[in-house]
Amino acid sequence: MSTAGTPRVTAPEPWNRGPYAAAIGSSAGNLTLRDAEGWCLPLDVRRWSAPADAADRAVVERCSGRVLDIGCGAGRFVEALTRCGHRALGIDVCPTAVISTVCRGGAAVSRSVFEPLPEEGRWDTALLIDGNIGIGGNPRTLLGRIRELVHDRGLLIVETAPADVDERRRVRLHAGPQAAGPVFAWATVGARALERHARTCGWTVVEEWGGPSGERHFAALRPAA
């Protein structure tokens, strides 16, 4: 099969500049993830940039101790956690997201979850919200990495897809109809798939719940005994 005209799959994250960074700065933007087969995932940048909502606050209430927000975006969780007295750190590959988080009174660093991070193995809680279980395109690799970050009695809270899905795709970030970055790997994981992946990576699902509107779904995981 000819590969002429096929975008080259590249390693760098597409989130660190361009339309995503602009959307974080303006709290608006028609952004989606799309693959070559027509699959499309809208990115709710407006909600991500707003203050924490009721579903977010239910997550914050379940957090304990020091909290690592992986893919913190504009910083609404770090802001809410800090106001509740938690020591929270956001990490994001987008410098604009880090700036936004700091401007909201939180702490954040520009870093990938797969790079060396502060206090590895000592975090009490880690967060993967807003579809961030998809980071890297391999949930088991990501879950295994986070197992290295929290301690043996720690907590991981994951927002899962509302449908029972377990998909790996090669996608591009789009601004409106236009592709706005390189091809990269992404995953979409529902609750049942998360439970399967968690078992292979040393995690046990201990709680599941939905947001007030029923459109968002969450799971809490603990390291397996």
Q: Which CATH architecture has domain 19-23+30-66+115-223?
A: 3-Layer(aba) Sandwich (3.40)
Cβ-contact 156, 201 below 8 angstroms:
no
**Confidence band of 214 (pLDDT split at 50, 70, 90):** confident
Averaged pLDDT score across all residues of the chain: 91
Asked if pLDDT for residue 25 goes beyond 70, the answer is yes
pLDDT value of position 23 = 87
**67-70 and 123-128: which strand pairing?**
parallel
pTM above 0.75, yes or no: yes
Q: Which two tokens stand for residue 142?
A: 């990501």
